[in-house]
Amino acid sequence: MQKVGKGILVLAEQKHGKLHKVTYELLGKAAELSRKCGLPVWCAVAGPEELPVEELVFRGAQTVFFGADKRFDTPDELLLTRFFKQVVRDTEPGICLMGATSFGRSVAPRLAAALGTGLTADCTGLELDEDGRLVQIRPAFSENILAHIKTDTLPQMATVRYKEFPEAARDEGRKGEVVRVELPDPADRLAEVVSELKSQEADISDAEVIVAAGRGVKEAKDLGMIRELAELLGGRVGASRAIVDDGLIGRECQVGYSGSRVKPKLYIACGISGAPQHLAGMRESGYIAAINSDPSAPIFNIADIGICEDLYRAVPELIRKIRAAKDK
Ligand code: FAD
């Protein structure tokens, strides 16, 4: 098979010195592609000095390009884009992979534009054709078809959905090289991060229980009972796009096609109709409970248990029953 470019580069994600698991999933996929085309697996990461970069080697990176700088403690996406662009320019990879997380969705388009290359977002599959070109597979038209996309320009850049591929196995015996990368000149910065926006809700992508609110929840203050139920169950709050667009809750809570894809053990949908774009993000949940006053709501078609009831009655009742059971 022909080699396109000089390597497969995974663009790592970290926050406050902790690597995001999507990076390990991408390294696993990169290794699989590498076995077919013979290109080396590389990883680029920027973060604080104490970042455990050897972990990236244990997960299969043959070379790690490390930008160690405390400026990366804050999520300055413009600076990160410049860092990744520099690594790509210096190393000339044929393939660049990034997670389709909020971080990846923000940085990858900037990077693709800066490099003058294409970007296929939200991939669920990656293959190589007989000429060694990357076939980027992603659902299209509300997940009704799987599009197979090839990019004419280099590097071939794709973001990949979190939890789509298994993580690369960890092997402490793996050897790799860590190459320090000098960062872009600080005087060249386009923006200064003065503070990090603190979200009221925690990250939902790894939550084991999610209580999600839809347009059945009429006002922001009514989200209090959703949060209370989530807290009681040790879970997090999710949302449909409808109430995110209405400004009731932050975008980081959105579940679905254009939000997060989640696989909790328990998903409770409160006042959510079950549009295909919402189901795309939660249908693989372990156990799905739906509360909806409309018996014909499509969410009931995929729910393990359906409660056809006004959520303003059902949710407080559930809270009361769970509290009573806990107090016993
Ligand atoms: P609605 O469809 O309005 O449903 C509200 C439900 O609440 C109804 O079923 C109603 O019976 C019920 N209800 C009302 N009052 C009560 C009550 N008191 N008690 C109980 N039940 C009640 N959507 C997403 O969620 N995530 C995405 O990522 C996403 N991406 C999209 C991407 C594209 C390109 C497009 C075109 C759309 C996308 N959407 C997404 C939007 C999606 O199509 C739906 O519009 C949206 O999911 C509807 O949200 P909802 O179920 O909260 O609202």
Tens digits of residue pLDDT in 187-226: 555 666 666 655 555 679 889 999 999 999 999 999 999 9
pLDDT band at 144 (very low <50, low <70, confident <90, very high): confident
Instruction: Output the CA 148–ligand 1 centroid distance in Å.
Output: 29
The enclosing H or E element of 268 equals strand 266-270
- Looking at residue 194, its pLDDT comes to 63
What's the mean pLDDT in 233-248? 96
Cα(303) to ligand 1 centroid in Å equals: 15
Q: What is the pLDDT of residues 30-54, one digit of tens each?
A: 999 999 999 999 999 999 999 999 9
The percent of residues in the chain predicted with pLDDT above 70, rounded, is 93
Among 210, 223, 272, say which to mutate for ligand 1: greatest number of ligand atoms within 8 Å of CB.
Answer: 272
pTM of the model: 0.78
pLDDT score at 157: 98
**What kind and span of H or E run contains 277?**
helix 276-282
The reported pLDDT for the residue numbered 187 is 53
Output the pLDDT for position 73. 76
Q: What is the pLDDT of residue 71?
A: 79
Q: Which two tokens stand for residue 195?
A: 């503070």
Q: Each residue of 105-137: pLDDT tens digit?
A: 999 999 999 999 999 999 999 999 999 999 999
Q: Contact 52/19 with Cβ under 8 angstroms?
A: yes
Please state, rounded to an integer, the average pLDDT across all residues of the chain. 92
**Mutational pocket test of ligand 1: of 215, 262, 296, 307, the residue with most ligand atoms within 8 Å of the beta carbon:** 215
The residue whose CA has the least distance to atom 52 of ligand 1 is: 214
- Give CA–CA dist 51/58, Å, rounded: 14
Alpha carbons 41 and 106: distance in angstroms, whole number = 24
Residues 70, 74, 75: CA angle, nearest 5 degrees: 125
Is the predicted pLDDT of residue 262 greater than 70, yes or no?
yes
pLDDT digits (tens, 9 = 90+) for 129-140: 999 999 999 988
Residue 192: partners with Cβ closer than 8 Å, 6 or more residues away? none
How large is the average pLDDT for residues 296-305?
Answer: 98
Where do we find the tokens 């939890």?
163
Q: How far is the CA of 243 from the centre of ligand 1 (A)?
A: 8
Give me the pLDDT at residue 195, please: 62
